[in-house]
Amino acid sequence: MLKTISALFSSPRELKLFALASFSLGVGFSIFDSIFNNFLNDKYMITGWQRSFLEFPRELPGFLVVFVSAALWFLCSRRIGALSILLSFCGVILIGFFAPSYFIMTLFLFVYSLGQHMFMPVAQTIGMELATAGNTGKRLGQLNSIRNAATILGSFLVFFSFKYLGFTFSHSFILVALFLGIATLLLYKLTPEPVKEKRSFLQLRKEYNLYYILSLLAGSRKQLFITFAPWVIVTIFKQPTQTLATLLTIGGVIGVVFQPMLGKLIDRKGERFVLATESVLLMLVCLGYGFSKSVLPEPIAFLAICIFYLADQMLFSVSMARSMYIKKIAITDADVQPTLAAGVTIDHIFSILVALLGGWVWNTYGFQYVFLIGVVIAAVNFAFALQVKVPQKPAPIRLSS
């Protein structure tokens, strides 16, 4: 991690600004995520159904990303990045201080989440813009590592400030707004890229069909980790809240080292190798989630589940390989951000559908069958990952002396 920080801070101005913005964002988002559930319970005393309903205003912006981005075609990726975090900044202030009722809070949560989701494709675009040739994976891995470290710091700040400094939710929302405000200013200070012509955000191009399919499968796979894997730990193995918090913290620490290593692996071995390997590992992880309890003594099964959960958390980082793939096959550089935005929208459409299907399968047939669906998704992903091909760079011309 120290090597990553040293390398970034000896880098050009634009990269230093974006690295600092990424760190500030990581801390702010982490603080918000750490306090949000307790804030909901203490202030609104919501029911389980109301908590479930909140996933709609939180996830709907993911579907809308491509449409909002289309309306902002005249802004470059760096300006959209600053605007998106400004939206999240406003959302935090509104949720923390101007939301007297649950219904009003859901409206402000939509604003906060819209900013977050708008930033997803932009973060990848800017990261790739700031990478040197042949080091895109390494650069994305370094930036992800910084965000991981920031996430750990944000969680620690919540723990320390509530336990020893007497913080309230109001103090925490001010802190989140401060970090998001700093990130907004840093992103705004990035030199804007010129936008020469209108970008076709709403146009799906057949040349990128494989990327769209990979995004669809990524969205389907995402819900296994976000929704059903924690539910196995909580309901099947009867673990308390701190178990998941501990696993997420351990995963964050591992990610600080793992992210740059993964980025370098993508640079060396290529996107196809990494995406195919992810699919094979995900098949094993899903089988472990579904059947560890059936074939192993419970203490060993629980340890295995924890290992699978951490491995699953690391596999999320493979999203950078999909971003690098579209960067390499893009017909023009102007296609990159619109295609990544379309990928976010496709991802969210199918993640919501799989969540509904998985819940029905869990209740009707049992949790094991949810993860068998995951095995099928991973197998299909493996087949499509093998189709990934990127243009080869021409060999350098050697001049005879």
Q: Which of the residue ranges 55-64, 87-96, 361-370 has the most confident prediction, judged by mean pLDDT? A: 87-96
pLDDT of residue 33: 84
Q: How far apart are CA 316 and CA 342, in angstroms?
A: 19
pLDDT of residue 10: 67
Whether residue 283 sits in one domain with residue 232:
yes
pLDDT of residue 8: 59
pLDDT band at 398 (very low <50, low <70, confident <90, very high): very low
Whether residue 330 sits in one domain with residue 292:
yes
Q: Is residue 197 part of a domain?
A: no
Q: What share of the chain is helix, strand, coil (3-state, %, to 5)?
A: 80, 0, 20
Whether residue 162 sits in one domain with residue 226:
no
Per the structure, the complete domain to which residue 152 belongs is given by 1-190
Q: How far apart are CA 352 and CA 161, in angstroms?
A: 35
Whether residue 229 sits in one domain with residue 152:
no
Whether residue 237 sits in one domain with residue 331:
yes
The total number of structural domains in the chain stands at 2
Q: Is residue 195 part of a domain?
A: no
Q: Is residue 395 part of a domain?
A: no
Whether residue 123 sits in one domain with residue 230:
no
Whether residue 353 sits in one domain with residue 210:
yes
Tell the residue number behind the tokens 């930036």, with chain if given: 143
Last residue of a domain, one of 190, 218, 245: 190
Whether residue 210 sits in one domain with residue 103:
no
The pair of three-digit structure tokens given for residue 363, joined into one six-digit string:
């209740």
Decide which of 248 and 245 is more confident.
248
pLDDT of residue 49: 59
pTM assigned to the model? 0.77
pLDDT digit string, tens, across residues 307-358:
999 999 899 888 889 989 998 998 888 888 888 888 888 888 887 778 778 8
Last residue of a domain, one of 166, 190, 214: 190
Residue 396 has pLDDT above 50, yes or no: no
Q: How far apart are CA 169 and CA 158, in angstroms?
A: 10
Tell me the three state secondary structure of residue 212: helix
Whether residue 340 sits in one domain with residue 262:
yes
Whether residue 254 sits in one domain with residue 156:
no
pLDDT digit string, tens, across residues 179-229:
999 999 999 999 987 765 666 666 788 899 999 999 999 988 887 777 788
Decide which of 209 and 137 is more confident.
209
Q: Is residue 26 part of a domain?
A: yes
Return the CATH number at 293: 1.20.1250.20
Whether residue 260 sits in one domain with residue 113:
no
Q: Is residue 199 part of a domain?
A: no
Residue type, 172: S
CA-closest candidate to residue 22, choices 199, 209, 179, 147: 147
pLDDT of residue 48: 58
Q: Is residue 284 part of a domain?
A: yes
Distances, alpha carbon 204 to alpha carbons 66, 122, 153, in Å: 11, 18, 39
Q: DSSP string spanning 60-90?
A: HHHHHHHHHHHHTTTS-HHHHHHHHHHHHHH
Q: Is residue 311 part of a domain?
A: yes
Q: How far apart are CA 161 and CA 329, in angstroms?
A: 47
Whether residue 378 sits in one domain with residue 354:
yes
pLDDT band at 401 (very low <50, low <70, confident <90, very high): very low
pLDDT of residue 109: 94
pLDDT band at 51 (very low <50, low <70, confident <90, very high): low
Residue 58 has pLDDT above 90, yes or no: no
